[in-house]
Chain A
C-alpha cells in the first residue's frame, strides 16, 4: 500500500455532548452523548448514505460535518469546502422568485456575478415559468422546494451534505433532485453525504453506507451490506412488543448518559 489516499473527511473519536435539564431545578445537570466516539475516513468522491433510527444522532453529525456546530471531543480533518443543502431556509415569503434567487444566493455567499450566472439554470430547474415575478408565498410547496434546492446546488462546494432534504415534495421532485446529484457525483467527483430514511433511494444512489445507532457508529462499509443489516435491525425492533421496545430504548438512553461531572472551561462555567 504505497499509494497515499487523500481523504475528504477524517473523523477521529468525535463526540458531542448535550446538557439535559432536570425536572427539579436544584438537582445537578445531567449530560448526554449525542454522538460518542465516532471514527471514520471518507475518500474524495465517495457517496455515503447515513442511516439510523430517529434520534440516533444523524442530524447532529450532519451539523458537525458541515462545520456549523462544534464537537466536544476528538479531531476532525476536512479537505475542501463543505456545504449543507437546506431547502427552505433563506427564502423570503414577501419577495418574488427572482428576488429570492438574489437573497438566498447572497445568504450562501455567492458573488453578484455568480448569481447572474446561475439564475437561468435555477429558473429552469424550479419550473417557475410565469411565477418568476410572483411573491414566494403564492408558490406551491413543491415549487418552493425546487427553487430552494436549485439555489443551494449553485454553491459548488467539494463536499455536499444532504440531510433528509429530498423527503419534502413529491416523488417527481425527489427523482429530479437525485438525478441532478448523480450528475454531480459522476461528472464532478464530489463527495456527498446523504441522509435519508428511504432505503431504495440510498441503495441506488450511494456507494457506501454508514449506520449510526444511539450516537455510536455501528457499521461503515459497502452500501448493500449496511442496508441489509439496518433493515434487519429495524424489522427486528418492530417485531418486539411495546414493553420490549421501551426496554431497548431505555437501555440505549442509559448508555448515552454521562454520570458525574464533566470538566468544563472557564467560559462555559460562567455562561451555562
Chain B
C-alpha cells in the first residue's frame, strides 16, 4: 500500500512540467477551436450568473439564507460546484480519453487525473474572478478571511484528484462507471448545499447525513470565507473527517493505479 502511494506521488511530482504542459495545451486547443478563445472562459460562467440573477433575483425574489441575499449566496456555491462537477465527470475518462497515447508510448498514467484537474482549475479561476465582481457589486469588501478560499480551493483540488484517480481506473475496467457517475452527479448537486442549505428542519439525522458528503465541506467553506468571516480552523471535526475521506480515496486510487498500470492497455 505504501509502495503504491509512493509510486503515484513520485510519478506526479517528477512530472510536474509534463502535467502543466499537457493541461495548458489542452486548454489552448479548446480555445483555438473558437474565434474568441479565452473570452468564452469568462463569458460562459458570466452568462450562467446572469441567468440565475434573472430567475432567482428578479423573477422569484427568493429570500436569502443567514442574512445573505440569495443571488450572491448561490453564486459562491456554484463557483465551487462548477469546478467539482466537470472534474468529476471528466476525471472518469481521464485515462480512457488518452488511449491513443498510452498504447503508443511509455507514459506515466497516474498523472492523467491531475492534468484534468489542473486544466479545469484554470476555468475555476475565471469563475472566481466573475464571482468576486458580483460580490463587489453587492457591497462585500475583501478582507483577510477571503484568503481561506485558497485553502478551500486546495481542498477541492485534492478531492477531485483523489476521486478521479479511483474513477479513472474503474472506468477502464467497466465503462459503465462513467455513465453511473454522470447520472449520479445530478443527484449529488441536490444533496449538497449548492442550491439550498441542505438542512432538514425536522430530521436532524438527515442533516447529519448531508454533512458526510465531502462536497458539503468545500461549498460551505467557500461561503464561510466570503460571507461569515470564519477561518477554516473553526471546523476542526469537519476538516478532519474531510481529510480522512480524501486519504482513503487517495489510497484506494493509488493502489488501483499501481496494480493496473501495465494492464490498462489490455482493457481498452
Contacts and interface: CB of A to CB of B under 8 A. Distances in A.
Given A90-B101, A92-B29, A68 B17 contact: no
Interface string A130-144: 000001000000000
A126 B128 CA distance: 43
A68 B105 contact: yes
A68 B18 CA distance: 18
B48 interface: no
Interface in A110-144: 111-112, 135
Contacts of B108: 109
A63 interface: yes
A103 B22 CA distance: 7
Nearest to B259: A267
Interface in B84-134: 100-108
Contacts of B102: 68
A133 to B, nearest CB: 12
Contacts of A69: 262, 265-266
A103 B263 CA distance: 25
Contacts of B262: 67-70
Nearest to B266: A69
B25 interface: yes
B32 interface: yes
B259 A107 contact: no
B200 to A, nearest CB: 38
B105 A90 contact: yes
B105 A102 contact: no
B15 interface: yes
Given A109-B18, A111-B17, A102 B25 contact: yes
B265 to A, nearest CB: 6
A99 interface: yes
A63 B22 contact: no
Contact of A83 (B15, B28, B101, B105): B105
Contacts of B101: 89-90, 107
Contact of A106 (B21, B29, B265, B266): B21
A95 B106 contact: no
Nearest to B263: A70
A83 B100 CA distance: 16
A271 B105 contact: no
Contacts of A82: 106
A271 B173 contact: yes
Nearest to A67: B106
A107 B105 contact: yes
B33 interface: yes
A206 interface: no
B254 to A, nearest CB: 15
A63 B265 contact: yes
A51 interface: no
A267 B173 CA distance: 12
Contacts of B29: 92, 94-95
B105 A103 contact: no
Given A92-B25, A109-B108, 13 more contacts: A63-B103, A68-B102, A68-B103, A68-B105, A89-B101, A90-B100, A90-B105, A94-B32, A94-B33, A95-B25, A95-B32, A99-B28, A107-B22
Interface of B: 15, 17-18, 21-22, 25, 28-29, 32-33, 100-108, 173, 259, 262-263, 265-266
Q: Closest 8 interchain pairs by CB?
A: A106-B21, A70-B262, A86-B104, A89-B104, A94-B29, A94-B32, A103-B25, A92-B29
14 contacts: A68-B105, A82-B106, A83-B105, A92-B29, A94-B32, A94-B33, A95-B25, A95-B29, A102-B21, A106-B22, A107-B18, A108-B105, A109-B18, A271-B173
